[in-house]
């Protein structure tokens, strides 16, 4: 018969054995970190001038309005002391309880112990008191340039988020409870996950968000049938197999963003826009971009237009025998589709019959949440990076996007993986999110300097390919879909760009949700609705106030729009012809390059 002491002894031995394994993992950890390439500090935070200006502003405020500064300090001290006294008073009653807690709505503190246990509750409340004090100080900084204040607010919030007690083992009840329940196995598994992520990314800490072994392109995602019928140094052109006997005569070419892979539009059968378009009776082509290496250092936006957009249009016209095509551009590819339309206008080329834009920015006068990253010190650092490596590595862009939502995309996954020892979920969207692509050095600088920083396309003209390209040149019938909570391409900024385009036929739709979920929104889910308003002369806020809300996906509304611009029905064409032999099955080979499989 086993006694309680025997069980306790066995558990203790198991925990000791598990902890001893950490020594071997620690050696791997040191080796992985030591192999990390030297990083450019400009890509990790602002230069010292920003903090110097902030300190100068704070000191100036102390001199000019000392009562206000002391009032804030006194309020912070008062809250902290009151919090301490209340905690002591509760403990003095001989009960293991927490004082009254007014902070109840933060998802990070969902474990009941944050509210009931005096230790965890004290740590949580004091952290939130500290956070509020920092935020209040920033709000009251009156002498800072607005952009500097926005940057300081962003980077201060990063520090606040990083210092959350949930991010540390000793102050995370979930992690501690699991460590005890598993005799330390969860900590061992977590360290294994940490070391594995470091080894997989050459010493860079990139938190794995999804189980990469759960997905295989062409097998359980990106499975819509099609053929690669053209390939050059920039693109593979995929012609999707028709599923209807007849199709509309005007073909559709979809240009996805090249920051990520195209299969966001073909994740699985239930939410594949690519599959849905073919089912509606359209001849669909999709561009799959190359994932460039350092040999693409001198590739610029002109190459994406010439060898990507213009070549795809030329080949699709040739294979279908049509004089015009309908084009879709998503995100940065939507921005570049606009550049292409301006260029074709200058050349008198009417190959594009209509244009659809998904979350596409063309007016960068308001840089929104990207303001912290679009100032000279950060862009200077990117220029140094691309001059050294020839490209902007995918993890830098991925890290930038992730830290815009750091609690959801950095710290919470890190806690689950590294402290709880959990395997990442088999989630197709997160798998795609981690399958980024590099950016050629020249193209990255052109985009960041000429479009984002200088806003040349909307203000004065963007010099490219021997022409001065301008938004007002875009006179093709267009439909733009933006997303209500998009933090990458805010709908108001998308709207301002469309307002400046020269087209007499404009349709603007705002889908509920964000940059991805608002676009990948199939009718079958009946999840997110959309807003429409035909009056494009209004300011963004007035447009939205007067917009009509429609429940359900925008896809059917857009299909009605594109149908009116797609011509009569003709017999469906199978992929390829004598001039375009089939080079392989969809999703092709370019989508596989540098993918972590």
Query: Which residues are tagged catalytic?
Result: 331
- Structure-token pair, residue 526: 């009946």
SS (H, E, C) 536-553: CCCCHHHHHHCCEEECCC
Q: Single out the residue of 444, 453, 495 nearest to residue 367, CA to CA.
A: 453
**Rounded Cα distance, 258 and 392, in Å:** 13
- Structure-token pair, residue 490: 């805010």
3-state secondary structure at position 452: helix
DSSP 98-160: ---------GGG-STHHHH-HHHHHHHHHHHHHHHHHHHHHHT--SS-HHHHHHHHHHHHHHH
**Rounded Cα distance, 573 and 241, in Å:** 8
Q: Single out the residue of 149, 145, 140 nearest to residue 64, CA to CA.
A: 140
**Rounded Cα distance, 209 and 414, in Å:** 9
Residue with tokens 């007016």: 363
List, in order, residues 6 or more apart from 188 with CB less than 8 Å away. 18, 19, 21, 22, 25, 421
CB 289 within 8 A of CB 262: yes
**Rounded Cα distance, 344 and 351, in Å:** 8
DSSP 165-201: GGGSGGG-HHHHHHHHHTTTHHHHHHHHHHHHHHHHT
- Structure-token pair, residue 514: 């964000």
Q: Which long-range contacts (CB under 8 A, 24 or more apart) does 110-116 make?
A: 111/173, 111/174, 113/173, 114/173
Report the interhelical angle of 185-200 vs 4-34 (nearest 10°).
Answer: 10
């Amino acid at each position: 018969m086993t006694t309680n002491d025997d069980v306790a002894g066995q558990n203790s031995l198991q925990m000791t054995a598990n902890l001893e394994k950490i020594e071997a993992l620690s050696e791997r950890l040191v080796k992985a970190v030591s192999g990390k390439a030297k990083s450019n500090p400009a890509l990790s935070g602002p230069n010292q001038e920003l903090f110097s200006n902030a300190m100068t502003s704070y000191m100036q405020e102390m001199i000019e309005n000392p009562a206000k500064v002391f009032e804030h300090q006194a309020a912070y001290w008062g809250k902290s002391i009151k919090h301490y006294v209340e905690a002591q008073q509760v403990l003095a009653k001989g009960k293991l309880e927490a004082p009254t807690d007014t902070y109840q709505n933060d998802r990070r503190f969902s474990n009941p112990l944050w509210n009931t246990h005096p230790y965890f509750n004290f740590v949580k409340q004091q952290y939130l008191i500290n956070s509020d004090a920092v935020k209040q100080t920033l709000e009251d900084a009156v002498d800072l340039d607005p952009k500097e204040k926005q940057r300081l607010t962003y980077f201060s919030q990063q520090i606040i988020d990083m210092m959350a007690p949930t991010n540390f083992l000793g102050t995370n009840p979930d992690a501690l409870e699991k460590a005890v329940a598993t005799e330390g196995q969860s900590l061992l598994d977590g360290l294994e996950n940490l070391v594995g992520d470091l080894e997989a990314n050459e010493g860079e800490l990139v938190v794995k968000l999804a189980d990469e072994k759960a997905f295989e392109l062409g097998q359980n995602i990106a499975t819509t049938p099609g053929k690669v019928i053209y390939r050059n140094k920039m693109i593979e052109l995929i012609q999707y197999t028709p599923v209807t006997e007849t199709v509309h005569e005007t073909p559709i070419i979809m240009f996805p963003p090249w920051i990520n892979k195209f299969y966001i539009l073909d994740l699985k059968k239930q939410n594949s826009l690519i599959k849905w378009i073919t089912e509606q009776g359209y001849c669909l082509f999709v561009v799959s971009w190359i994932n460039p290496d350092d040999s693409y250092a001198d590739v610029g936006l002109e190459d994406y237009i010439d060898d990507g957009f213009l070549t795809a249009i030329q080949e699709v016209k040739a294979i279908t025998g049509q004089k015009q095509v309908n084009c879709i551009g998503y995100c940065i590819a939507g921005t570049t589709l606009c550049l292409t339309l301006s260029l074709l206008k200058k050349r008198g080329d009417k190959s594009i019959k209509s244009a659809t834009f998904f979350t596409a920015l063309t007016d960068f006068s308001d840089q929104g949440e990207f303001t912290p990253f679009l100032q000279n010190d950060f862009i200077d650092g990117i220029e140094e990076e691309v001059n050294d490596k020839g490209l902007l590595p995918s993890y830098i862009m991925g890290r930038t996007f992730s830290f815009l939502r750091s609690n959801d995309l950095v710290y919470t996954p890190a806690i689950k993986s590294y402290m709880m020892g959990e395997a990442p979920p088999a989630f197709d969207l997160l798998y795609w999110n981690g399958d980024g692509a590099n950016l050629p050095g020249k193209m990255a600088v052109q985009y960041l300097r000429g479009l984002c920083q200088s806003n040349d396309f909307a203000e004065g003209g963007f010099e490219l390919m021997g022409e001065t390209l301008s938004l007002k040149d875009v006179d093709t019938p267009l439909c733009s879909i933006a997303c209500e909570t998009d933090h990458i391409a805010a709908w108001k900024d998308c709207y301002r760009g469309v307002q400046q385009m020269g087209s007499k036929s404009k349709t603007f739709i705002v889908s509920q949700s964000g940059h991805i979920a608002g676009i990948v929104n199939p009718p079958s889910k009946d999840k997110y609705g959309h807003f429409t308003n035909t009056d494009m002369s209004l300011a963004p806020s007035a447009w939205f106030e007067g917009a009509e809300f429609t429940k359900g996906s925008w896809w059917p509304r857009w299909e009605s729009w594109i149908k009116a611009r797609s011509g009569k029905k003709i017999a469906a064409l199978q992929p390829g012809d004598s001039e375009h032999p089939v080079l392989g099955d969809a999703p092709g080979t370019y989508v596989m390059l540098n993918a972590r499989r």
